[in-house]
Structure 1
Amino acid sequence: MNTISPRVVADDLTSVAIRGIHLMVDGSVADLAEVTHPDGFTRERKAAPPWARGSGPEAIHALAEWLRDAFTDMSYDIHATAVENDLVTVYATMHGRQIGPLVFYTEDGAVDNAFPATGKTFAMTESHWFRMRDGKIFEHWANRDDLGMARQLGWLPPSPVFLLRSIQLERRAVREVRSGR
């Protein structure tokens, strides 16, 4: 009888989870299909644009494209991982620079907040949680230092000029949602 050790399985699942994180930077739909279950999803999709809220590799790629449109020079430093059964946890730092606007949405698809590009860099700590199925990412959720990122990017405290730019961006985003774009 040939059995696979639990450590080998844990290492394999950890590798898939870490690869999934790195593919958010520059992976294609095909790349993401290698690590994402066909029914895989992220709980983080609630704040994403309506077109990036589905399941499967295509939806994860759409979410990545949304982030890539806002941030460049993205990278992740992986600090620690843990595995228990089908759950993989990854503690990391995300780095990037905001080059485009970032619009967040409510669960019903309305514009929630809009942040114009600042050109500034950030580094924020994150913990990612992955539920694995059939050796692929089935479910994902994260805890991030969004407040720290907002401060580094100059979103908080907002200057009067930044507030004006945010209002203009939010109005434009609302018009786009209403027109179906």
Structure 2
Amino acid sequence: MPTTDADTCVRSMTIMGSGDLDELTRVVHPKAVNREAKDEPPACRGEGPAAFAATARWLRAAFADLRFDVHDVMADGDLIAVHCTMSGRQAGPFVAYDERGEVAQAFPPTGRTFAVTQSHWFRMKDGQVVEHWANRDDLGMATQLGWVPPTPAFLWRMARAKRHARRNPAP
């Protein structure tokens, strides 16, 4: 049975969660762009499989047991929409970056689990992902992980995590 563009998009999400990053070269176009990378480490802001792999490493550094459970997939020409639930457990700091690629915020690990719905959008070219963007429930995730509302102790841990992240930048 031939692989469809929708199958390729779902596979790319599975790879992001599983960590089988060598396989990204099969599903991500060399010129692919992740429109969501603006808050991610600088290595995520490039093109192609290497940038997508950097995003996967960044997510997996913060979230153990990361997975995407796909609920619905819709295709219209070269555009694929995937409705899913992203879940995991925060085992490491989650570090957000500003437009200059500098650490903007760091959320220390809480050990809590989360599950939030998301919509991912993919544009396809030659059977590979060439563009990605998403709509996420970041507030829901932050609430489930205990980031908001922040306690004074958590704000202190955030400041310490931010200092550590600035001293040890992501590759």
Q: TM-score, normalised by structure 2?
A: 0.94
Equivalent position to 1:53, from 45, 49, 55: 45
* 1:86 CA drift (Å): 0.3
Deviations for 1:32-76, whole angstroms, at most 9, x for unmatched residues? 011100111211111111122211111111110011010011112
Residues in 1 aligned to 2:19 and 2:122: alpha-carbon distance in whole angstroms: 18
Contact 1:28 1:61 in 2 (8 A): no
Please list every run of at least 4 consecutive aligned residues from structure 1 whose deviation after the TM superposition is greater than 4 angstroms: none
Structure 1 pair 27–169 and aligned structure 2 pair: CA distance change class (3 A): closer
2:114 counterpart of 1:119: no
Partner of 2:83 in structure 1? Answer: 91
Sequence identity of aligned pairs in percent? 49
Q: Distance in 2 between matches of 1:74 and 1:26?
A: 7
RMSD of aligned alpha carbons: 1.7
Which structure is higher in helix share? 1
Q: Which runs of 5+ in 2 are unaligned?
A: none
- Structure with larger Rg: 1
Equivalent position of 2:59 in the other structure: 67
CA separation in 2, counterparts of 1:22 and 1:151? 25
The answer to whether 1:78 aligns with 2:78 is: no
SS in 2 for 1:138: strand
Distance 2:87 2:112 in 1: 11
Q: Tell me the TM-score normalised to structure 1 length.
A: 0.89
Q: C-alpha distance in 1, partners of 2:47/2:13?
A: 17
2:21 to 11, 19, 29: 29
Higher mean C-alpha displacement, 43-52 vs 31-40: 43-52
